């Protein structure tokens, strides 16, 4: 499963296998805040995510803990807590619910959030290939509905991508899938309950190049909800054609293409697409923000009017439905234990068994006088 951290300073810090195991073993069973840690879900360059349960209620949760070396950086901590504040303020079924956030006894920052079961859109697309237009539209409409709830209260995600869109099982949702948006770590909080404004330094570039709006690529300071609309257009383009609108070797090249090159029409790669869907997608990918579709609500209404056949009633298959596979904002996720651990345990058990057989044989010889 591909997951990445973008827009956060600091590179990946690799522990040796022994250090990783010791840290994992030391935390399991402990109580962090209001939550008892059960096991580790993911491990990345900025933090560790654990499966947990509320001490008093027993309800499940995912606890994301920032690594100690990044707790000292106020910029990183601010973005970490921005994720909690932004997500908790939206309160929509399509936004991952945040239960609590704060600092542990060792001053490490943590976020307790909803534990999800399913897979991210990247993995779903890799397994299913290019999606049927009806399925692609269903997923996109749920994303737009959740985004509209965020935009209404002044939260702009700014890093939408397939990795940050999670699919969970919900028999009451279209196709049996509920779409959840993750990772508001670099979200722009346009305003809060007290009317304060959150400003971003002009010239700073945050996001993932493949899905960034032209104004983000230029480092413009005034980024609004229309940047998220552009990102959704890039994602929908990929769902329908199997590739994003712009592909190049490096991130800088991709950003230049967003700024200067016209995006290809989806119908040029998939001629059977409905003309209405092709035109809507082109409008979402308009380079000038003032000429782009103005809001998620507008895009949602337009997508609902596209003539597409209904879903056939069959639920779409999700991988890992029975195992929580929630791995938000972690790069290069690893197994809970390094792969050599089971082999080492088996080897030790084999040595013990051989030694036991040998000792039993010696005792038998002694007892018989041999």
304: its two tokens: 């609902």
Question: Nearest-CA neighbor of 273 among 315, 322, 320, 308?
Answer: 308
Orientation angle between helical segments 121-128 and 225-241, nearest 10 degrees: 20
291: its two tokens: 């000429």
Residue of 43, 100, 120, 159 marked active site: 159
Handedness of CA 243, 285, 309, 276 (dihedral sign): negative
Residue 224 annotated among the catalytic residues of the structure = no
What is the side-by-side order of every strand in the sheet holding 118-120?
118-120, 165-169, 177-181
β 155-156/165-169 pair status: unpaired
Q: Does residue 333 sit in helix, strand or coil?
A: coil
DSSP string, 266-281: HHHH-TTS-HHHHHHH
Rounded Cα gap, residues 250 and 254, in angstroms: 7
Alpha carbon distances (Å) from 178 to 93, 129, 197: 8, 19, 32
Q: Which are the catalytic amino acids?
A: 159
């Amino acid at each position: 499963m591909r997951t990445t951290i973008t827009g956060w300073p600091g590179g990946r810090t690799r522990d040796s296998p022994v250090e990783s195991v010791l840290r994992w073993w030391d935390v399991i069973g402990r109580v962090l805040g209001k939550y008892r840690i059960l096991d580790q879900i993911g491990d990345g360059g900025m933090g560790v995510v654990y499966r947990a349960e509320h001490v008093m209620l027993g309800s499940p949760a995912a606890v994301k803990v920032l690594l100690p070396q990044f707790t000292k950086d106020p910029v990183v901590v601010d973005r970490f807590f921005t994720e909690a504040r932004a997500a908790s303020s939206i309160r929509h079924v399509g936004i991952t619910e945040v239960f609590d956030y704060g600092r542990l006894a060792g001053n490490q920052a943590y976020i307790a959030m909803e534990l999800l079961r399913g897979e991210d859109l990247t993995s779903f697309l890799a397994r299913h290939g290019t999606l049927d237009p009806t399925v692609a539209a269903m997923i996109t409409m749920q994303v737009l509905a959740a985004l509209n709830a965020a935009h209404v209260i002044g939260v702009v995600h700014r890093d939408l991508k397939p990795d940050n869109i999670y699919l969970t099982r919900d028999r009451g949702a279209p196709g049996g899938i509920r779409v959840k948006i993750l990772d508001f770590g670099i979200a722009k909080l346009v305003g809060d309950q007290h009317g304060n404004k959150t400003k971003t330094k002009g010239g700073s570039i945050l996001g993932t190049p493949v899905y960034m709006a032209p104004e983000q690529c230029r480092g413009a300071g005034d980024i609004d909800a229309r940047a998220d609309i552009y990102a959704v257009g890039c994602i929908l383009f990929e769902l329908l054609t199997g590739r994003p609108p712009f592909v190049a070797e490096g991130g800088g090249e991709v950003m230049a293409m967003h700024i200067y090159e016209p995006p290809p029409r989806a119908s040029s790669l998939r001629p059977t697409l409905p003309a209405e869907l092709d035109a809507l997608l082109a409008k979402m990918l308009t380079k000038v923000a003032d000429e782009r579709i103005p809001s998620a609500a507008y895009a949602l209404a337009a997508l609902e009017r596209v003539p597409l056949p209904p879903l056939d009633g069959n639920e779409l298959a999700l991988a890992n439905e029975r195992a929580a596979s929630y791995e938000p904002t972690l790069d290069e996720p690893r197994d809970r234990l390094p792969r050599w651990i089971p082999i080492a345990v088996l080897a030790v058990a084999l040595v013990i068994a051989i030694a036991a057989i040998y000792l039993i044989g010696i005792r038998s010889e002694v007892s018989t006088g041999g």
